[in-house]
Amino acid sequence: MVLKKNKIFEILKEFNKEFNNIIKNANETTKCRNLKCKNQLIEFNKVREIFQKKIMILLDNRNKIKEKHKLNKDLQYLLKEYDNNKDVLEYSKEFNDKKEYSKINKKTKQKFEIVTKKYYIDTGKIYNKIFKDKEYKKYSKQISKLGDDLNNIKEAMVLKECSFTECLHLHKKGTELVKDFTKKICKKDQKNKYSCNLNKKINKINISKINFKEYENLGNFIKKKGIFGKNNK
């Protein structure tokens, strides 16, 4: 079972601290990699630039599909309406001041959640129209393949191996954080088979002795569907 966007929002709301810790550790891991694997990063970036140019062409072609259906204007209108909504603005102000979801006024949170849920429903209807377009599907598939190819080229693997060796403590910590996060998601909603299966997969690994092959397999598993599952709607 793949989680819907409003369900994901509820989980992120409840486990905001845990999710933020995952993001924080990922940023620290990237900084460590960039510092200790400079030469490998330079070589990877040379190849990535070539891939990015190809991807940008495909993204531009895919974006024309939305223009063809005149959906960009609809999406932009909904986003502008959402960003300027008084309940969203009030929530953003409180969140920026207090920094923690649990400290935000209950009524402010409730109003924000109602507006956000409606925004997800309205944008979801628009994207459903786009996803049915054959050309859009074709470009999406090509973009996805290029992303997979980039992830598996020699330069990418050399960089990832360097990062795993030089920043091992952060990679282990990140795995522990995802393990804890998916455990809580699964405990809250056992019908979410993807997060439960991901947690079971991590549980089979001895994180203190994790090797690069195990870490890479786990990373690829997560990349395919994310933490919540693929194509969240």
Q: How far apart are alpha carbons 181 and 158 in whole angstroms?
A: 29
Average pLDDT over the chain, rounded to whole?
87
Q: What is the pLDDT of residue 231?
A: 41
Model confidence, pTM: 0.75
- Tell me which of 111-125, 163-177, 209-223 is least confident: 111-125
Higher-confidence residue: 94 or 150? Answer: 150
Task: Examine the pLDDT at 51 and tell me if it is beyond 60.
Answer: yes
Higher-confidence residue: 156 or 231? Answer: 156
Closest by Cα among 118, 112, 114, 109 to 78: 118
Compute the residue count for the chain.
Answer: 233
Closest by Cα among 21, 22, 17, 28 to 170: 28
For the segment 185-216, what is each residue's pLDDT rounded down to a tens digit?
Answer: 888 776 677 888 899 999 999 999 999 999 99
- Phi, psi of 15, deg, nearest 5: -115, 40
